[in-house]
Chains A and B, each alone.
Chain A
Amino acid sequence: DEVHVRQFAAQVDPQEAAEFDRELRALMQESLDSRKLELRARPTLNMMIPMNVFEGPTKDHLGRGIEGESGDETVDEASGGNKDVQVKVLVKRGNKQQTKQMYIPRDCSLVQSTKQKEAAELEE
């Protein structure tokens, strides 16, 4: 069951890429500027984070990968552990809060800091 794999990368026209990059940056900048203009007064914090999200079984940060069965997605045997970390993503549905489990790469800056802090806390 072999598949001939075609190469995808390396076909990008550098000029097109530069042009696209410029437009993307412009859009980001414009978005930022328009917010600065719109919200002259700093908004207050309006975040309700239900305390129960912080409880529950997520202490185990070495959760399984989401598609653990296929094998090729999550487990990095060589490093001797999972390369993904389980987190709860907190979203609002209308006025209600809801969490969903997600797996994010271990090297993502989001979890790195969490890990480091936890390590620091442990040392204390």
Chain B
Amino acid sequence: EETGDDEGFEYGKGDFSVEHACKYCGVTNPACVVRCNVPTCRKWFCNSRGNTSGSHIVNHLVRAKHKEVCLHKDSPLGETILECYNCGCRNVFLLGFISAKTESVVVLLCREPCLSVNALKDMNWDLSQWCPLIDDRCFLQWLVKVPSEQEQLRARQVSAQQINKVEELWKTNPDATLEDLEKPGVDDEPQPVALKYEDAYQYQNVFAPLIKLEADYDKMMKESQSKDNLTVRWDIGLNKKRIAYFVFLKEDNELRLVPGDELRLRYSGDAAHPAWQSVGHVIKLTAQEEVALELRASQGVPVDVVHGFSVDFVWKSTSFDRMQGAMKTFAVDETSVSGYIYHHLLGHEVEVQMVRNTLPRRFGAPGLPELNASQVFAVKSVLQKPISLIQGPPGTGKTVTSAAIVYHMAKQGQGQVLVCAPSNVAVDQLAEKISATGLKVVRLCAKSREAVSSPVEHLTLHYQVRHLDTSEKSELHKLQQLKDEQGELSSSDEKKYKALKRATEREISQSADVICCTCVGAGDPRLANFRFRQVLIDESTQSNEPECLIPLVLGAKQVVLVGDHCQLGPVIMCKKAARAGLAQSLFERLVMLGVKPIRLQVQYRMHPALSEFPSNNFYEGTLQNGVTINERQSSGIDFPWPVPNRPMFFYVQMGQEEISASGTSYLNRTEAANVEKIVTTFLKSGVVPSQIGVITPYEGQRAYIVNYMSRNGSLRQQLYKEIEVASVDSFQGREKDYIILSCVRSNEHQGIGFLNDPRRLNVALTRARYGIVILGNPKVLSKQPLWNGLLTHYKENECLVEGPLNNLKQSMVQFQKPKKIYN
């Protein structure tokens, strides 16, 4: 056998006992390895290609989308984070070497913007010789050496597939090794959700692992969003707290910051400033995509520094913990819900039960608009049943109906009513309507959102605590004032303050008729000792089951779930969990179990011409119009609708789709250009920006349209900037007077992706009040049966058009045969 086994190493195994060993192959030569500098990663990789087209380190950076590295302390250059000599940018995909003037001195410089700084040219540097750090899928070999043949022989042989798999594994388990790939269970699919469950333990056994998967994914994703080299603008809030403003661009569209999110702001220090960091809460996001972060600590903040800050996401397990907690309570606590509700939720056969209550004489409520027949029917039936579903198609007044139900429940004297929804926006809207009936409402916000402005601030618990004006509260008042002025209290005062505050919160909450909070908020410790017999959950089709369970396990006897399973469901980020059924709401499962939703049938949003197609295709033709053509006439608006009285058209587009820069999304330039023309025509005819919404399913196109309009629009730039351009999903639950829908996909050989989901199409088509313009390629879209139907509908109504906007002509484009029947 061959020799060469000189140092006791086995060939092809690698040496993983050393910390700086390449995590893929085990090469340990300090001159050949670099460390990934992403705080959550910090793994070492070598610069050999092994069996893959790129070197190990480049493979890792690309697969994990990490961008910073540090050299080994024993490497020729010593422990060095690779960064731009001028601006400090650490993104290795932008860095390259350049000789300083004519001498043999080289520095790292970033391609954008430092390489294009004019001053450099003036200084006589030869910028054309910039030499990228990553060349031919490998780090420059004179900087990070390629392991010798000997070293490579000893190393483990890894394939591209193994690399992909282990990178996938690291997302949820950073300590995983290649050996773990062989272990059973890693690739297993979780147990899928069922229609019925034996008992609440079985229910928990199915859902707990799915919530765990989603939580792991969420954590991985958010913690990988660190960002360096941020420029910060400082301000002071009304509460004297420091606020940092900065742009925290999302790399892909997965992460959406929302007010209340926690971020950590860091400064690594310089000669005049020590290293510093502080955690803070996002209090708002400006229209310019700037984040406002209210810092927790106001001392030692380097407010005279503006550049060179870093930001990390601080992930919180709270919402997932509360879901797990609710499932546990559901299983172990017999009083968590009534027996009837318990069996019903698990899908057991139970005898129909009616709630014995005296019904009110009229079903409307003070302070609310008159109810229509289907709304009255909904209120009446809900009050008599222990569990009911209300389906509210777009614009059918489900908030008003919900508020009326809550009003009558509260008047029955069964204790406080709990009202929830998955989103803060929906909770605020509901709280406002319920408060209009004269009921005493407390809106409970998460502690982290207390600084976030709210349209119903006067209803929030923290506001009421601060503004309670009685003499015995003066002690709390005094302490609060002291705290506001000094920023903190002595520990004994702090103790006293907390106790007083808790008592006051409790007192105010207990005296309310209705408590409003998000589903997750219902798990707030401040509600731990509260019991709610009657619970209403709005937008329940947008929450997953365990989330919906949180408000129910506080003693529910009568449950009302409001939603619309024909619109978009809950957002589940982890594909594995979504595949296993976590994306199905409790509302939907109850529908499948035979609970018939009560449907609100009169819509007050859309021009009758706009509601026709959605009614026929998503609601079996049952949607009636509560608004007339006259009420939705855009008087004084001169817009080239092909058919007067039908403010809609499908604008035939044949431009090609392209893959966006991020490689994960799509864009379509001709559609974007026509969106701008349509927007400009609307604006010129007197429509204001806030009336217009541009919907596009792809982040790539969204970014492109925003950019294109502000650069190419013929009117004032500011006007275009004020126009909301967003995904279908972020328009759910809202409306605009005019909607422009850009479909993007225009590829004969591929699917239409996102647009395939009928629920997404329903949402997109039902946002407009006065008019809608759809831009797309009929040849591609018509392959899908539902789109084929939509195109046929537009064609039959002479609203399928092409040509320039000021001279639209009926289009004779041929449709394709739909692939299969949509049911």
Contacts and interface: CB of A to CB of B under 8 A. Distances in A.
B643 interface: no
Contacts of B61: 27
A2 B150 CA distance: 11
Contacts of A33: 661
Interface string B75-99: 0111010010111110101100111
B106 interface: yes
B137 interface: yes
Interface string A9-45: 1011100110011111111111111111111001111
A105 B107 contact: no
Interface residues of B, number: 74
B102 interface: yes
Contacts of A39: 112-113
B229 to A, nearest CB: 8
A105 B116 CA distance: 26
B58 A24 contact: yes
Contacts of A9: 49
A75 interface: no
A85 B51 CA distance: 31
A35 B104 contact: no
B101 interface: yes
Contacts of A113: 99, 126, 128-129
B637 interface: no
A118 B99 CA distance: 13
Given A33-B661, A109-B131, A113-B126, A16 B104 contact: no
A interface secondary structure, majority: mixed
A79 B247 CA distance: 54
Contact of A21 (B53, B86, B659): B53
B interface secondary structure, majority: loop
Contacts of A109: 129, 131
A54 B103 contact: yes
Contacts of B120: 45
Contact of B4 (A3, A61, A89): A3
A1 to B, nearest CB: 6
B85 A31 contact: no
Nearest to B107: A90
B663 A31 contact: no
A88 B112 contact: no
Given A28-B93, A31-B94, A109-B131, A20 B104 contact: no
B52 A16 contact: yes
Highest count of chain B CB atoms <10 Å: which of A9, A103, A104, A111:
A104
A108 B131 contact: yes
A94 interface: yes
A92 B160 CA distance: 36
Interface string B35-73: 000000000000001111110001101110101000000
Contact of A30 (B4, B88, B270, B661): B661
Given A29-B661, A30-B251, A35 B110 contact: yes
Nearest to A47: B86
A122 to B, nearest CB: 12
A20 B663 CA distance: 12
A12 B149 contact: no
Given A31-B94, A38-B247, A110-B99, A88 B62 contact: no
A65 B520 CA distance: 64
Interface in B424-451: none
A31 B52 contact: no
Given A20-B137, A45-B117, A8 B663 contact: no
Contacts of B678: none
B94 A35 contact: yes
Contact of B249 (A20, A25, A37, A53): A37
A12 B51 contact: yes
A114 B119 CA distance: 20
B630 interface: no
A58 B99 CA distance: 14
B150 A114 contact: no
A18 B47 CA distance: 20
Contacts of B269: 94
Given A21-B137, A24-B137, A110 B97 contact: yes
A85 B104 contact: yes
Interface string A31-75: 111111111001111110100011000100100001000000000
Given A20-B137, A30-B251, A92 B85 contact: yes
Nearest to B664: A26
Interface string B264-283: 00000111000000000000
Contact of B101 (A29, A54, A88, A89): A54
B2 interface: yes
Contacts of A47: 85-86, 107
A24 B160 contact: no
Interface string A80-124: 000011111111101100011111110011111110011001000
A22 B663 contact: yes
B106 A88 contact: yes
B653 interface: no
B142 A103 contact: yes
B662 interface: yes
Given A21-B53, A110-B129, A89 B99 contact: no
B486 interface: no
A115 B4 CA distance: 42
A5 interface: yes
Contact of B102 (A91, A95, A100, A117): A117
A69 to B, nearest CB: 15
Given A23-B663, A94-B270, A45 B106 contact: no
Given A45-B86, A49-B105, A109-B129, A27 B65 contact: yes
B4 A1 contact: yes
A51 B78 CA distance: 22
B112 A20 contact: no
Nearest to A14: B53
B50 A36 contact: no
A111 B50 contact: no
Nearest to A91: B80
Contacts of A36: 112-113
Contacts of A26: 659, 661-664
B28 interface: no
B114 interface: yes
A117 B100 CA distance: 13
Contact of A100 (B4, B78, B98): B78
B542 interface: no
Contacts of B65: 27
- Please list the 10 inter-chain residue pairs (A to B) with the smallest Cβ-Cβ separation, ordered nearest first: A26-B663, A17-B53, A45-B119, A35-B112, A113-B129, A31-B93, A3-B4, A29-B661, A87-B104, A104-B142
20 contacts: A2-B3, A3-B149, A12-B52, A16-B53, A20-B137, A23-B62, A26-B662, A30-B661, A30-B662, A38-B249, A45-B86, A54-B101, A54-B103, A86-B104, A90-B105, A102-B76, A110-B131, A113-B126, A113-B128, A114-B104
Interface of B: 2-4, 49-54, 58-59, 61-63, 65, 67, 76-78, 80, 83, 85-89, 91, 93-94, 97-108, 110-114, 116-120, 126, 128-129, 131, 137, 142-143, 149-150, 152-153, 160, 247, 249, 251, 269-271, 659, 661-664
Given A3-B2, A16-B160, A42-B113, 16 more contacts: A2-B3, A20-B160, A26-B663, A27-B62, A38-B247, A38-B249, A43-B113, A45-B117, A45-B119, A46-B86, A95-B271, A108-B142, A110-B97, A111-B99, A111-B104, A113-B99
